[in-house]
Amino acid sequence: MFELLDGKTLSIQIKNEIATEVRNLMADGYRTPHLAAVIVGNDGASQTYVANKEKSSHEVGFTSSVYRYPESTSEKDLLEAIEFLNNDPEIDGFIVQLPLPKHINEQHIIDAISPDKDVDGFTAINVGRMVLGEDAFVPATPMGICTLLKRYGIETCGKHCVVIGRSNIVGTPVANLLSRKGFDCTVTLCHSRTKNLAELTRSADILIVAIGKPEFVTAEMVKEGAVVIDVGIHRIPDESRKSGYRIIGDVKHDEVDKLCSWVTPVPGGVGPLTIISLLENTMKAYKKNLNIK
Ligand code: GUN
Of 28-32, 46-50, 215-219, 280-284, where does mean pLDDT reach its minimum?
Answer: 46-50
Q: How, if at all, do strands 160-164 and 186-190 pair?
A: parallel
Decide: 50 in ligand 1 pocket, CB within 6 A: no
Please answer whether residues 193 and 166 qualify as being in contact, where contact means their C-beta atoms are separated by less than 8 angstroms.
Answer: no
- The Å distance, Cα 169 to ligand 1 centre, comes to 8
CA atoms within 13 A on the CB side of 57: 25
CA atoms within 13 A on the CB side of 163: 24
Please answer whether residues 164 and 201 qualify as being in contact, where contact means their C-beta atoms are separated by less than 8 angstroms.
Answer: yes
Please answer whether residues 40 and 72 qualify as being in contact, where contact means their C-beta atoms are separated by less than 8 angstroms.
Answer: no
Q: Which CATH architecture has domain 140-270?
A: 3-Layer(aba) Sandwich (3.40)
Report pLDDT digits (tens) over 28-49.
Answer: 999 999 999 999 999 998 999 9
Determine the CATH number of domain 30-114. 3.40.50.10860
Decide: 97 in ligand 1 pocket, CB within 6 A: yes
The confidence score (pLDDT) of residue 21 equals 98
Decide: 282 in ligand 1 pocket, CB within 6 A: no
The answer to whether domain 30-114 and domain 140-270 are alike in fold is yes
Decide: 228 in ligand 1 pocket, CB within 6 A: no
Please answer whether residues 64 and 57 qualify as being in contact, where contact means their C-beta atoms are separated by less than 8 angstroms.
Answer: yes
Share of the chain above pLDDT 70, in %: 100
Mean pLDDT of 214-239: 97
Report pLDDT digits (tens) over 153-182.
Answer: 999 999 999 999 999 999 999 999 999 999
The confidence score (pLDDT) of residue 171 equals 98
Residue 274 CA, closest ligand 1 atom number: 6
Mean pLDDT of 15-33: 98
13 noted as active-site residue: no
Q: By alpha-carbon position, which residue is closest to atom 8 of ligand 1? A: 97
Kind and range of the H or E run holding 248: strand 245-248
Report pLDDT digits (tens) over 116-138.
Answer: 999 999 999 999 999 999 999 99
Report pLDDT digits (tens) over 76-110.
Answer: 999 999 999 999 999 999 999 999 999 999 999 99
Report which of 2, 20, 54, 273 is spatially closest to residue 150, judged by C-alpha positions: 273
Residue 141 CA, closest ligand 1 atom number: 6
- The Å distance, Cα 283 to ligand 1 centre, comes to 18
Indicate the domain borders of the chain.
30-114, 140-270
Distances (CA, A) of 106 to 39, 181, 245: 13, 32, 30
Q: How, if at all, do strands 63-69 and 34-40 pair?
A: parallel
pLDDT, averaged across the chain: 98
d(CA 118, CA 139): 9
Q: Give the pTM.
A: 0.96
Of 49, 54, 104, the one to substitute when testing ligand 1's pocket (max ligand atoms within 8 A of C-beta) is 49
- The Å distance, Cα 96 to ligand 1 centre, comes to 8
Q: Which of 92, 118, 120, 230 is catalytic?
A: 120
Residue 46 CA, closest ligand 1 atom number: 1
